[in-house]
A = this chain, B = another copy of it.
Amino acid sequence: MSVTYPSGFTAAGITVGLKPSGSPDLALVHNRGRSDAVAAVYTANRCKANPVLWSQQASADGRARAVVLNSGGANCYTGDFGFETTHLTAEKAAELLGLSALDVLICSTGLIGVGGQDFRDRIVGGLPEITAAAAEGPDSGKAAAEAIMTTDTVAKTVACDGPGYRIGGMAKGAGMLAPALATMLVVITTDADLGAAQLDSALRTATARSFDRLDTDGCMSTNDTVILMSSGEAESADLTEFTERLTEVCVDLAGQLHRDAEGAHHDIVITTRGAASEDEAVEVSRAVARSNLFKAAIFGEDPNWGRVVAQVGTTAARFEPDAIDVTINGVPVCIASSPGADRDEVRFGREVTVEIDLHAGDHRASIWTSDLTHDYVEENSAYST
């Protein structure tokens, strides 16, 4: 399933030895359909990894046939050698698949600064095996999803039926999940016969309301990439309908990333309503999601609404400082900027909802974040050692 659910796609995942654990670390998604239309969004980080620099150029014409993805090294800040490795990977994969190098997009994930000779040799050396594996059959979508995992504890995949077409997808990401994409690699496939401009429109709308609303730790990655490919093997689709379905797919994958966030004990959804604009609702929700004090309080199952209000006050959103309501897990703990219901009434489970009402308009938006836990500190202080 996964990326091979729509007609026209094959995939594979193999082990080439990039990870000390010996887990799968190289993936391929190949579009063999009538169309080669593609759209992609990349990290807004100005310090972009080599595969992002390459793929931005290669996808600029709205055409691509294959994506090669690796875990076990980000190939970011690895100098000219690192960029040459990306280029060489695309050339060799293209040769094996009968494509031009610019038809091959590259994604990498892992530690920044990793991308030396050994990294190059293992990836390039593994291309004959992975292209052969992908040629064998369409059922390797799961293997591809597993090969892009880093600190992920589960593979993330999705399959969805539209009227006369299918959408499939895979994603990785567990930390450094923040705005303008989390540290995530996502490949979404469809057989709906849509052109590159339509795919681009749909993808930008869908990511803005899904991956861009995920902000587990405020850290923006250098390698974030979301790719949408169409094989054109099915019917065309109504763009509005397709965009809605694609948004559901992206929300599903983003939810999987959220639930697997590094070290999280609570999955928190912060919703700001009554905002004067959707952007202001996002700004307020994100400001709260970025507060370490708030996130540590939720870890301790402490409905500390003061830390919510304090973050609201750091934003430029329109509101009256004495008219803010805060509701935690359904209990209105702060009403009109004063203590409301008894905080002891708040019950905690894995899911935590925080609702902020600014009483300044009719717009709303949610940001998904995680609590700040001992496990987060532990995982992220030990990651590279």
Q: Count this chain's copies in the assembly.
A: 2
Cβ contact of A306, chosen from B74, B313, B380, cutoff 8 A: B74
Asked, given contacts A300-B381, A314-B220, A377-B296, whether A77 binds B339 with beta carbons under 8 Å apart, the answer is yes
Chain A 279-296 interface mask (CB, 8 Å, partner B; 1/0): 000000000001111001
Determine if A131 is an interface residue (Cβ-Cβ < 8 Å): no
A128 adjacent to chain B (CB < 8 Å): no
Asked whether A350 is an interface residue with its Cβ less than 8 Å from the other chain, the reply is no
| Whole-angstrom CA separation of A13 from B26 in the bound complex | 66
Closest approach, in angstroms, between the C-beta of A344 and any C-beta of chain B?
10
Question: CA–CA, A305 to B76, complex, Å?
Answer: 11
Q: Does A201 contact B (CB under 8 A)?
A: no
- A112 close to chain B: CB less than 8 A: yes
Query: Of B219, B297, B314, B337, which is within 8 A of A79 by CB?
Result: B337
B78 contacts A380, CB within 8 Å? no
Shortest CB distance A265–B (Å):
10
Please, how many residues of chain A have a CB less than 8 angstroms from a CB on the other chain? Answer: 60
Complex Cα distance, B175 from A49, in Å, reads 35
Please judge, given known A-B contacts A113-B305, A300-B385, A374-B374, whether A293 and B380 are in contact too, CB under 8 Å: yes
Name which of A40-48, A97-105, A139-147 contacts chain B. A40-48
10 additional contacts (CB under 8 A) given A78-B339, A112-B305: A45-B310, A47-B321, A74-B306, A77-B334, A79-B337, A175-B293, A219-B307, A296-B380, A302-B381, A372-B381
Question: Interface on A for B, CB 8 Å cutoff?
Answer: 44-48, 74, 76-79, 111-113, 175-176, 217-222, 290-293, 296-297, 299-300, 302, 304-307, 309-315, 321, 324, 334, 336-339, 372-374, 376-378, 380-385
- The 24 listed contacts between A and B (C-beta, < 8 Å) are A45-B310, A46-B321, A47-B310, A47-B312, A76-B306, A77-B309, A77-B339, A112-B304, A112-B306, A112-B307, A176-B310, A218-B292, A219-B291, A221-B310, A292-B372, A297-B381, A297-B384, A299-B377, A302-B381, A302-B382, A302-B385, A304-B383, A372-B380, A374-B377
